[in-house]
Structure 1
Amino acid sequence: MGAVMYATPELEPADKAVLGEIEDMRRDLRYRLAEPHRWDGQLRRQLQARAIQGSNSIEGYRASVEDIESIMLGEEPLETSRAVASEIAGYQQALTYVRHLASARSFAYDRGLLNALNFMMIGHHHDKSPGIVRPGGIYVRDSATGEVVYEGPDAEEVPGLLDELVAWLNGGDLDAPAYVRAAMAHLNLVKIHPWRDGNGRMSRALQTLVLGRDQITTPEFCSIEEWLGEGRTTYDYYDVLGEVGRRRWGPHDETLPWVRFCLRAHHMQAQRVRRRLAEAGEVWTLLEEQVDAEGLNTRCVSALYQVFVSRRLRRSSYQADESLSQGQAARDLRELAARDWLTPYGETKGRFYAPGPRMERVKADFAARTAPLRDPYRSAL
Structure 2
Amino acid sequence: MRFPQAPPAIDHEVAPGASPTLPDGRYLHWNELRHREPPPGVRVLEWWASMRAARRGQSRALEAMTACYRAPFGVVLLPAVERKLHAFDRTNVGEKILSALGNDEARIEYRVRQLIEESISSSEIEGARPTTRELARQMLRDRRAPVSVSERMIVNNLRAMERIRELHASGASLEMPELLELHRILGEGALEVEGAAGVLRGPEHEVMVSDADGTVWHRPPAARGIGPRVEALLEFANGGRDDEDERQFVHPIVRAIVAHFWLGYEHPFRDGNGRIARALFYWVLLRHGYEVAEFLSISGPIERSPRAYYLAFAHTETDGGDLTYFVLHQLETMEAALADLLSHLTARASRMRALRELGKVFEGLNNRQRALVDHAMRHPDEGHTIEGHATSHGVHYMTARADLADLVAKRLLTSRRVRTAKLYVASPSLLRRRKAK
TM range (shorter): 0.7 to 0.9
Out of 10, 14, 17, the position equivalent to 2:83 is 17
Give, as a single letter, the amino acid of the residue that structure 2 aligns with 1:194: P
CA distance in structure 1 between the partners assigned to 2:428 and 2:252 by the alignment: 44
Contact 1:44 1:220 survives alignment (8 Å): yes
Q: Larger Cα Rg: Structure 1 or Structure 2?
A: 2
Counterpart CA distance in 1 for 2:75 and 2:403 is 56
Which residue identity is paired with 2:225?
E
Please tell me whether the aligned partners of residues 93 and 120 of structure 1 are also in contact (alpha carbons under 8 angstroms).
yes
Partner of residue 378, structure 1: none
Deviations 1:229-252 (Å, cap 9, x if unpaired)?
A: 22xx21211121122234xxxx94
Map 1:1-381 → 2, pairs under 5 A: 1=63, 2-4=66-68, 7-24=73-90, 26=91, 28-32=92-96, 37-63=104-130, 64-76=132-144, 81-105=147-171, 107-124=172-189, 127-135=194-202, 136-142=205-211, 144-169=212-237, 170-171=239-240, 174=243, 175-217=249-291, 219-230=293-304, 233-246=305-318, 252-290=320-358, 292=360, 300-307=369-376, 312-317=382-387, 320=390, 322-324=399-401, 328=405, 331=408, 335-336=411-412, 349=421, 353=425
C-alpha displacement at 1:315, in angstroms?
3.0
For 1:242 and 1:108, the matched residues in 2 are separated by: 30
- 1:187-241 residue CA offsets vs partner (Å, 9 max, x unmatched): 01011111122100000010111111121215331441222122xx212111211
One-letter amino acid matched to 1:29: V
Structure 2 counterpart SS, 1:9: strand
What is the CA–CA distance in structure 2 between the aligned matches of 1:310 and 1:42, rounded to whole Å?
18
Q: CA RMSD in A?
A: 3.8
Separation in 1, partners of 2:379, 2:292: 22
Q: Which runs of 5+ in 2 are unaligned?
A: 1-62, 244-248, 394-398
Superimposed CA distance per residue, residues 123-164 of structure 1 (whole angstroms, 9 cap, x where no aligned partner): 23582331111122311221x213332212222232121122
Q: Deviations over 1:11-68 (max 9, x none)?
A: 11122122222333x2x32444689534333322222211112111110113344333
Amino acid at match of 1:184: V
Partner Cα distance (2:269, 2:302) in 1: 22
SS of aligned partner of 1:127: coil
Partner Cα separation in structure 1 for residue 81 and residue 371 of structure 2: 40
Amino acid at match of 2:111: R
Match of 1:195, as an amino acid?
Answer: F
The number of aligned residues is: 345
Label 1:293 to 1:123 Cα distance change in 2 as closer, same or farther (>3 A).
closer
Structure 2 CA distance for aligned equivalents of residues 274 and 151 of structure 1: 39
Amino acid paired to 2:200: V
Shift of residue 329, structure 1, vs aligned partner: 7.3
CA contact (8 A) 2:412 2:427 kept: no
Q: Deviations over 1:268-308 (max 9, x none)?
A: 21222234335444433542452635798667423223347
Which whole-Å CA distance do the structure 2 matches of 1:65 and 1:332 have between them?
31
Paired with 1:224 and 1:254, the residues of 2 have a C-alpha distance of 22
Residues 222 and 42 (structure 1), Cα distance of their counterparts in 2 relative to 1, 3 Å cut: closer
- Would you say the 8 A contact 2:210–2:217 is kept in 1? yes
The residue matched to 1:109 in structure 2 has which SS? coil
Q: Give, in whole Å, the separation in 1 of the partners of 2:358 and 2:403.
A: 24
Q: Kindly state the Cα deviation for residue 119 of structure 1 after the two structures are TM-superposed.
A: 0.8
Any idea what SS the aligned residue of 1:195 has? coil
Q: 1:21 to 1:317 in 2, by over 3 A?
A: same
Rate the CA distance shift 1:187–1:308 in 2: closer, same or farther, 3 A.
farther
Tell me the TM-score normalized by structure 2. Answer: 0.67
- Whole-Å Cα distance in 2 between the matches of residues 328 and 41 of structure 1? 21
Q: For the Cα contact (< 8 Å) 1:109–1:166, is it kept in 2? A: yes
Distance 2:299 2:121 in 1: 5
Distance 1:198 1:310 in 2: 34
Are the aligned partners of 1:118 and 1:130 in contact in 2 as well (CA < 8 Å)?
A: yes
- 1:377 matched residue in structure 2: none
Q: Percent identity?
A: 19
Contact kept in structure 1, 2:369 and 2:403, CA below 8 Å:
no
Q: TM-score, normalised by structure 1?
A: 0.76
Question: Relative to structure 1, is the Cα distance of residues 318 and 82 closer, same or farther in structure 2, using a 3 angstrom cutoff?
Answer: closer
- Distance across 1 between alignment mates of 2:346 and 2:403: 32
